[in-house]
Structure 1
Amino acid sequence: MNRHLLSMFTAVALLAVHTCAHAADRPPVESFFAHPDVSFVTLSPSGRYVALLNRLSDSKQALVVRETANLEKVTVVARFDSLRLRHIEWINDQRLTLTLKNTQIEFEGNDDQIAVDRDGANLTHLISGHWDHKQETTGSFIKDRVLTADYMFMDVTHDGSDDIIVGKLSWNNIDQQPQAIHPFRLNTRTRVLTDMLTGPQPELVRDWLFDAADQPRVAVTRGKGRCIVYYRKGQQGPWSEISNRDCLQDEIFDPLMFDNRNTLYVRAGYKGRTALFTFDLDKKTLDKEPFVDIDGFDFTGSVEQDLANKKILGVHFVSDAASTAWIDPAMQAIQKKVDALLPGAGNRVTCPRDCREPAAVVVTSKSDRLPPAYYLYTPADGHIIGLGSTHQAIDRKQMGKRDFLHYAARDGLQIPVYVTMPPDKAAGPRPAIVLVHGGPYVRGGSWEWDAEAQFLASRGYVVLQPEFRGSTGFGSAHFRAGWQQWGRTMQDDLADAAAWAVKQGWADPKRIGIMGASYGGYATLMGLARNPDVFRAGVEWAGVSDIKLMFTDVESDASQDALRYDMKTLIGDPLKDPSAFDDVSPLAQATRIRRPLLMAHGAHDRRVPVVHATKMHDAVRKTNANVEYVVYPEEGHGWRREEDSIDFWKRVDAFLDKNLAHAAD
């Protein structure tokens, strides 16, 4: 293990618990946006041990392991300084693997991977987050060498060995993002690296799916606008094509997992939405009826299985809120008992790998007014013990109610929306915020805890989070309705959300603001330019200001494939009609923005390079003096450093209080 990593990852002997005092009326910014107090709660394969990340009194982090039969038996495995934990998995009951991010390096990827025994011994550095071209690797076997940053963690194995699966990334000579990944098996003690593939194989594979024996059986490629899925019957068998489709125009075919009986589960189109199907690998056909289908929602979720006993237990999914449908009677009984012990919350139960008679299960409990809290439930005696919350200073009484509703856009399209109300009662309409999700072609939220929405609600704002057209999760028609509608009907949906809230009597029409990040930042700028009578102030961070720059900026991480296919379909073609983007680019409309504006950006943002912000700020300042602007020098596309996140939300708090909360016009 190199000295640089050792300086940031050191063993400790004592664990301190971080606590915060409750504010009398307005919870402080830190209670929402500080790094979690407890997170990454994960059971060992047998269920005898639970690993979790604890925040220490000095704001650093420590990885601890507890015995589930006696939680007082605690081992502090390691303490993190400038490294932050991104992912943790048990390799077996003795050993864990951790993915770590150096907060001093902005770029996505460049993660360190280590493995360590549950008592803190035998710590092995597996992948370095630092590029070192002197360590270029050749051949199938590498001993006693730390892999370079062109490797990444993919999965653990499930055979009880000390091995994990890593992928070697490859690039073309143009794109910043890798074009393919190749799987290897890596022993976490000896560092022996073994190629998992032999013979002819598909080219430019973006994703691999492994069966229950940890063999790569499904390969997913993406190129020139086409998504192709290949399958092989056995470890040495030939690869055959099972799906070849236009990635956007055709019905989705998204392989999710193999179960222990060699059944492939696929997310595929059904009645205008996506559902979960089983797939006959011999006939290469979907089952006639879906395994899981949720009326009104695309299937988003995962299958819970008992790996040791080759049994599907149930399916986790999201409709308006997260839930689980259990097939296994024993798990149904456990869920019922847990829900009785933790009423009023969504309680996700997670089994260890051997779930026949689990020693313990982990419960992640959260609601609209409470951030995730973790519990250990032991089915044998029915006891449940709290392990802590991600944000322990949050008081449920200071949080507002959150609902899932619909409103009609001006063309009649029904738009889903999450509404979070302030916790206190009001005699009349209040100030309101339309909080716009990024993407934009993603789902924005769920009913459960949303720190940004609850923070704003705690300041007295009604928070509207529209799943505007173009958002995924609500059927293909809703998704397609947003194609090439940046600044047009997608933008209308946001103004219509504000008008709807006024009509409901919730929002004061003279005190409605708009805010968001990435696409949400773009929509904020366009909202202030197009609808100054609706939106009286705006906050944007990491926002797009010039659509043409998305296609031309050399600092952008958009691939050539995305530029030529996906973005032309979803956003528009800059070659066919370059002037069309002027009407829907905030930069071209900068002189129309006269309302107060807060802008923030990361200096190292590669998704939306900072030139978007600098050009926009300079243009708006020519006609609008009420513009605040901050660049965070160590950040990328969003805030990773705790101090930056807290600083930003303090600025938001002060800006909205000054320009919206008490504004008369």
Structure 2
Amino acid sequence: MGMLAFALVCSPATLAAKVQEPIPLAAYGDLPSVEDIALSPDGTKSAAIRNIKGEMRLVVVDESGDVLVNSSAGTTKVRGVSWADDSTVLVTNTATVSLGPSFTVSKYEMTGTIIVSLNRDFKPELVFSRRRTIADTTRGFYGIRRIDGRTVGYFGGIALDPGYGGNMRFRHGRTTLYAVDLPENTPRQVAPPPSEGHYRDWLVDVVGTVATTLDINETNGKWSIENVRGDELARGVDPNGNVSLICFGKDNATVIYSIRDDKEVDRWFEVPLAGGTPTEFLADVPVERLYIDHETGRLLGYRKADESGETVVFDPAAQSAISRIFRAFPGRNARLMDWTSGFTKVVLRVDGNGDSGTWFLVDVANHRADPIGDERPLIWGKDVGAISRVDYSASDGLALDGVLTLPPGREAKNLPVILLPHGGPHAADEVGFDWWAQAFASRGYAVFQPNFRGSTGRGDALRNASYGEWGRKMQTDISDGLAELVKRGIADPKRACIVGASYGGYAALAGVTLQHGIYRCVVAVAPVADVDMFFDARVRESGRSHMTRHFWQEELGDPKHYDDVSPRKHASEADAPILLIHGKDDTVVPYRQSTAMADSLKDAGKPYQLVTLKEEDHWLSRAETRKEMLQATMAFVQKHNPAK
């Protein structure tokens, strides 16, 4: 069969020449115009979360383009949208909430699931909101199933008991599994919570039975997986708790789970639900994302976490169609986001060189791909800085790579450069449109995002090479990337700054406190500044969990040496101006990390600024504070490292 030629029917917004010079920073820092798009099961409708004039809205349209719903998505932070059935939409959001003095953390990021029925008789409401004995928050989503002709959603929830004075309080805080009849929003318990000091996860089969349960002892790391009859399917011990239920196998007769072995290698296994010997699954195949059937929970395919980014589905006919679809987008980073049964219609998100992010609805039968959303309509074509992969070697010979973004219209020669290490640290940057990198490129800077040791998608050996290397080899991996750009004549070594968020913020601070003579300025957003303080907070917030302590000691190394790699402890050695930016509602890296660093810099007489983002979390989820961060960052970098 020949290659299927898809007609790319482009909107005027997509093709219009963007002539505004320069593009406002707000166009980069704003939230995307499209956050998420999902298809109804029958493929006749789509639901999207769209940023319309600064307001997040849920927009549902049918295949004729008629708008069925156009309503505010609320004041909380919207994370995604999906369909429960052809007339019920689920919107996932989060909110930062303050907790009482009896909790180990002062703030927590709560997740909520809003039920939106296309039937006008039902008003939108949160899952569990009709039951006073369950908190209005969801802890995990375990699928949608059709049971006796009704749509049932499976969610983790937190049971409540009346407290002193009649107020409701958490019964114990451990997750209980509930089946919720949608859209009536009536829950019933289908699996009890784990016992004290344990964690549980579940898989729910096509008929609504809790078919598999994973139980982990958080004290000693012992774990077991059992089927519905209580028969043990697998067991082991992992002091870090690195074991997970994944999904059902492609024929629904097996369960797939992952472990991390004694060599710190992630391995997947498949075992029959009826019992038997586990066999390794997808050995040596790096997986970035799984594609799981919406109605059954069985595995349909996966996307590879390597340079190819190949999408693989197990059904041969569907694989043929998917392959043809992706060939219609050569040279761009295309990702499968949603699909109907049999992949007759799919939603793709595409970005890369010349493309700041476009969503397409692909009708396979009619050989047609229609753009249904531009994420950043002001940034397109020639205004997108060229993006490429750069391979290089660390000073100890380890093979590394990074993503280079170049300023549009400028020769790639002797440019001012921004080093932009990613967070995590177990994450990675790939060749694609990055709003932060592109903002710097638009102002004349080359931007390099190094995938230092600890980065994912490049094998377990590279990921595990970060253990105990914070501020050490992980740090020199970043400056080795700069050296490679200098060697190639791309970057001017005298005009380099380092900018980052979360772990990247730590690396930025370490670049001028633990390293010297490399960078002209630093911007650290939500950084870890004091490693010992960070470690203590993680352990305390976990309730002194042995598993959490073991995990972070493996990651960070011997606690006796935390001061050696803490930028705060070396503030007096800082050799460049530092801008600290931190959200007050950060529940991952506490705001205190930046204020403590600021105090130490002040005491040492070092130049610094501290920008506080009110009501902002760790992920810069709010448009106004994200734009505030970008404006402050750019002004600081341009002052201390002008591009011209």
Q: TM-score, normalised by structure 2?
A: 0.85
1:192: Cα distance to partner? 2.4
Q: Write 1 or 2 for the structure with the bigger share of strand.
A: 2
- Give the secondary structure class of the aligned counterpart of 2:94: strand
Which range moves more in the overlay, 427-436 or 540-549?
Answer: 427-436
Match of 1:50 in 2: 46
Matches within 5 A, 1:347-496: 347-349=334-336, 352-355=339-342, 358=344, 360-426=345-411, 428-440=413-425, 442-496=426-480
- Give the secondary structure class of the aligned counterpart of 1:97: strand
Query: Could you list the per-position Cα deviations for residues 110-142 of structure 1 after superposition, in whole angstroms to 9, with x for gaps in the alignment?
Result: 34432121255412423479xxxxxxxxxxxxx
* 1:291/1:608 CA distance change after superposition, 3 Å: closer
Instruction: From 82, 85, 97, give the equivalent of 2:78.
Output: 85
1:108: Cα distance to partner? 4.3
1:311: Cα distance to partner? 8.0
Question: What is the CA–CA distance in structure 1 between the aligned matches of 2:257 and 2:28, rounded to whole Å?
Answer: 37
Contact 2:601 2:607 in 1 (8 A): no
Instruction: From 305, 309, 317, give the equivalent of 1:318.
Output: 305
Instruction: From 207, 212, 218, give the equivalent of 2:206.
Output: 212
Is 2:631 the counterpart of 1:644?
A: no
* 1:43/1:344 CA distance change after superposition, 3 Å: same
For 1:493, the aligned partner's letter is D
Contact 2:194 2:215 in 1 (8 A): no
Question: What is the CA–CA distance in structure 2 between the aligned matches of 1:338 and 1:365, rounded to whole Å?
Answer: 12
1:631: Cα distance to partner? 0.9
* 1:96/1:203 CA distance change after superposition, 3 Å: farther
1:220: Cα distance to partner? 4.6
Contact 2:38 2:338 in 1 (8 A): no
Question: What is the CA–CA distance in structure 1 between the aligned matches of 2:439 and 2:585, rounded to whole Å?
Answer: 27
Question: What is the CA–CA distance in structure 2 between the aligned matches of 1:346 and 1:419, rounded to whole Å?
Answer: 15
Match of 2:321 in 1: 334
Contact 1:597 1:626 in 2 (8 A): yes
Match of 1:303 in 2: 291
1:434: Cα distance to partner? 1.5
Question: What is the CA–CA distance in structure 1 between the aligned matches of 2:352 and 2:366, rounded to whole Å?
Answer: 26
Query: Could you list the per-position Cα deviations for residues 147-166 of structure 1 after superposition, in whole angstroms to 9, with x for gaps in the alignment?
Result: 42454451442215232112
Match of 2:221 in 1: 226
- Give the secondary structure class of the aligned counterpart of 2:626: helix
Question: What is the CA–CA distance in structure 1 between the aligned matches of 2:493 and 2:222, rounded to whole Å?
Answer: 46
* 1:427/1:246 CA distance change after superposition, 3 Å: closer
- Give the secondary structure class of the aligned counterpart of 1:590: helix
* 1:452/1:205 CA distance change after superposition, 3 Å: same
Query: Could you list the per-position Cα deviations for residues 30-49 of structure 1 after superposition, in whole angstroms to 9, with x for gaps in the alignment?
Result: 22221221232101112121
For 2:221, the aligned partner's letter is R
Match of 1:3 in 2: none
* 1:534/1:559 CA distance change after superposition, 3 Å: farther
* 1:539/1:222 CA distance change after superposition, 3 Å: farther
Instruction: From 51, 54, 59, give the equivalent of 2:54.
Output: 59
Is 2:241 the counterpart of 1:245?
A: no
For 1:258, the aligned partner's letter is F
Question: What is the CA–CA distance in structure 2 between the aligned matches of 1:350 and 1:275, rounded to whole Å?
Answer: 25
Match of 1:126 in 2: 126
- Give the secondary structure class of the aligned counterpart of 1:661: coil
Question: What is the CA–CA distance in structure 2 between the aligned matches of 1:35 and 1:120, rounded to whole Å?
Answer: 30
For 2:587, the aligned partner's letter is R
Contact 2:143 2:295 in 1 (8 A): no
Query: Could you list the per-position Cα deviations for residues 359-418 of structure 1 after superposition, in whole angstroms to 9, with x for gaps in the alignment?
Result: x32222222542332121222322222111222222131122222333211111122322
* 1:411/1:325 CA distance change after superposition, 3 Å: same
- Give the secondary structure class of the aligned counterpart of 1:221: strand
1:433: Cα distance to partner? 1.6
Contact 1:495 1:531 in 2 (8 A): no
Q: TM-score, normalised by structure 1?
A: 0.82
Is 2:276 the counterpart of 1:287?
A: no
Question: What is the CA–CA distance in structure 2 between the aligned matches of 1:200 and 1:505, rounded to whole Å?
Answer: 58
For 2:246, the aligned partner's letter is L
- Give the secondary structure class of the aligned counterpart of 1:53: strand
Contact 1:77 1:118 in 2 (8 A): no
- Give the secondary structure class of the aligned counterpart of 1:652: helix
Question: What is the CA–CA distance in structure 2 between the aligned matches of 1:617 and 1:307, rounded to whole Å?
Answer: 52
Contact 1:558 1:607 in 2 (8 A): no
Contact 1:20 1:392 in 2 (8 A): no
Query: Could you list the per-position Cα deviations for residues 26-85 of structure 1 after superposition, in whole angstroms to 9, with x for gaps in the alignment?
Result: 3222222212212321011121211112332x32132122223x2x22212422342342
Match of 1:164 in 2: 153
- Give the secondary structure class of the aligned counterpart of 1:523: helix
Instruction: From 168, 178, 182, give the equivalent of 1:188.
Output: 182
Query: Could you list the per-position Cα deviations for residues 584-640 of structure 1 after superposition, in whole angstroms to 9, with x for gaps in the alignment?
Result: 111111111131211111223232222221121122134455322111121232422
Contact 2:571 2:600 in 1 (8 A): yes
- Please report the RMSD computed on the Cα atoms of aligned residues, expressed in angstroms: 3.4
Matches within 5 A, 1:511-660: 511-553=495-537, 557-561=541-545, 563-574=548-559, 577=560, 580-624=561-605, 626-660=607-641
Match of 2:88 in 1: 95
Instruction: From 235, 252, 256, give the equivalent of 2:246.
Output: 256
Question: What is the CA–CA distance in structure 1 between the aligned matches of 2:74 and 2:157, rounded to whole Å?
Answer: 28
* 1:198/1:634 CA distance change after superposition, 3 Å: closer
* 1:170/1:597 CA distance change after superposition, 3 Å: farther
* 1:242/1:384 CA distance change after superposition, 3 Å: same
Which range moves more in the overlay, 459-468 or 143-152?
Answer: 143-152
- Give the secondary structure class of the aligned counterpart of 1:162: strand
Contact 2:127 2:185 in 1 (8 A): no
* 1:432/1:164 CA distance change after superposition, 3 Å: same
Contact 1:304 1:316 in 2 (8 A): no
For 2:182, the aligned partner's letter is T
* 1:642/1:571 CA distance change after superposition, 3 Å: same
- Give the secondary structure class of the aligned counterpart of 2:270: strand
* 1:246/1:554 CA distance change after superposition, 3 Å: closer
- Give the secondary structure class of the aligned counterpart of 2:615: coil
- Give the secondary structure class of the aligned counterpart of 2:420: strand
- Give the secondary structure class of the aligned counterpart of 2:433: coil
Contact 1:471 1:478 in 2 (8 A): yes
Question: What is the CA–CA distance in structure 2 between the aligned matches of 1:318 and 1:608, rounded to whole Å?
Answer: 27
* 1:48/1:275 CA distance change after superposition, 3 Å: farther
* 1:407/1:180 CA distance change after superposition, 3 Å: farther
- Give the secondary structure class of the aligned counterpart of 2:341: coil
Match of 2:10 in 1: none
Contact 1:515 1:538 in 2 (8 A): yes
